[in-house]
Structure 1
Amino acid sequence: MRLVFAGTPDVAVPSLEALAASGHEVVGVITRPDAPAGRGRRLTASPVAAKAVELGLPVLKPAHPRDEDFQRQLRDLAPDVCPVVAYGALLPQSALDIPARGWVNLHFSLLPRWRGAAPVQRAIMAGDAETGTTCFRIVRALDAGPVYEVESVPMPDETAGELLARLAVSGARQLVRVMDAIEGGAEPVPQAEEGVTVAAKLTSDDARVDFARTAAEVRNHIMGCSPDPGAWCELDGTRLKLYRASVAEGVSAAPGELVVTKRQVFAGTADGAVELLEVQAPGKRRMAAVDWARGGVSGVLS
């Protein structure tokens, strides 16, 4: 089939690579416009755009997919399907109608659970026992289209960034399977409307840690917010970022109370403590919590 791929960040690159290496013909790539990046804030192409250039594929960078010039270019490419991974812009019906067999999205959750922008982060923060990926046909409603395939895995002991990178690779293989199935005549099945949850984008305020919650909840919050936006708390009025933690066994402390030993750093919670494993103080690099604590830290995290 003729494919036009749509995606923007690093997490979409494995799918572009897999589709380009498949038996399908990728005839174009859609991505977000160049954006300021780095200390100099220079306009920089998206990771998907850079990979498309490397692969010798034409790249479309519409300011918005409703733009008439973009839609004309897309019609000229005559795609059978537009596979999508984290493109980052809402698609109007006029664009959805162009490919003969629609737009098919790879989403990093077990739909209908965690529709929205931050499914991996929200699944970890909620303490879900499993996660995975879903390929579905895009409709106007948010992540509500009919489903081609769902692939689930047990929730690993990983940060959101680590899990997303792993799902990006396995999801790329799934997306190729779904393209093969569509070529063979497969049709999606309606998505369940029971059990819908929404994974709203995380803000810095959302990432603040509440040590009055249970140890499991605090651990999940820290791991789900890592690396972006980064869970945080305050110590003596100074912000401390927390990137990795685990539930501690046999340690008891008041909520937020720091307990520092020679080899470990703990913070109290409502029902015990978490071990802090990786942190970042203002103006410092990310480091092991024990290295941060060697300077002599004490007090209550809030």
Structure 2
Amino acid sequence: MRAITIPEPGDADALVVADVDDPAPGAGQVLLRTAAAGVNRADVMQRMGFYPPPQGASPLPGLEVSGTISALGEGVEGWAVGDEVCALLDGGGYAEQVLAPAGQLLPVPDGVDLVDAAGLPEVVCTVWSNIFLTANLQPGEVLLVHGGSSGIGTMAIQLAKALGATVAVTAGSPEKLAACRGLGADITIDYREQDFVEEIKAATDGRGADVILDNMGAKYLPRNVSALATAGRLVVIGLMGGRTGELDLGRLLSKRGAVIATSLRARPAQEKATIVAAVREHVWPLLVDGTVRPVIHSRHALTDAVAAHQEMESSGHIGKILLVP
């Protein structure tokens, strides 16, 4: 089969199309013929050599796919050859065929295109596990999402609004902010022109945000703590703004706040299966009835993965970028 490999870390040109061995499902796995793969910042970090796959995972990039089941491994129940599914992966999605743990499969929701479904597993599982399971966002609370026009951001807006929260976002252009408002964002902040701490406090009568979902890390750490409401929860899921920052513990203590750093890829398979099951129960009905939808910016051929990564790194996209074999 054809796949995208990374012989040596580097810029987007480090992605190389190659013929690799067809995978075969082991116990508890299914084999999928890939319809599409989602492109994520984590793939870019892996390509650059900063985010190696977990032990035992495929060395190929790609953390989410959609496709059709073509074979079942020993012990797999509840799925059949021919089922159209999407899957959360440890790696390997940039390929014509991919192995997925049966516990990380989801049916393609009614009304969602098979290709577009590739943009769901990673973002939905990330949003649900971090905002709702970890930070315990409640109806009526205020959520601040940095990077509101990203794949994760566009899903976070929709899910938080559907469950009764007030949603604030940061983004870097009027077009991106308009897209966020179109998805339901109540408060939109241009981080290039405005101070998000001042803006979120002004919009909440000085309270701040109950939950902040942050992909920047060190660069935003002190300001995020300042933007938290009393008993607020800051969840850090990315390090685009650096790894090392100063945390004012006095300010955090005065707010009775929490700083939580999490990742999805490295979690044990059983934890991922639990998250996937929760997503199927709570989010899939919202996709079926149209309350929530995948936001797709572009589709690229699998063999054009270089252009897809360049588009990701240019940060001009709104929603998900997909690769289609």
The higher radius of gyration belongs to 1
Higher relative contact order (Cα pairs below 8 Å, separated by 6+ residues): 2
Common fold: TM-score over 0.5: no
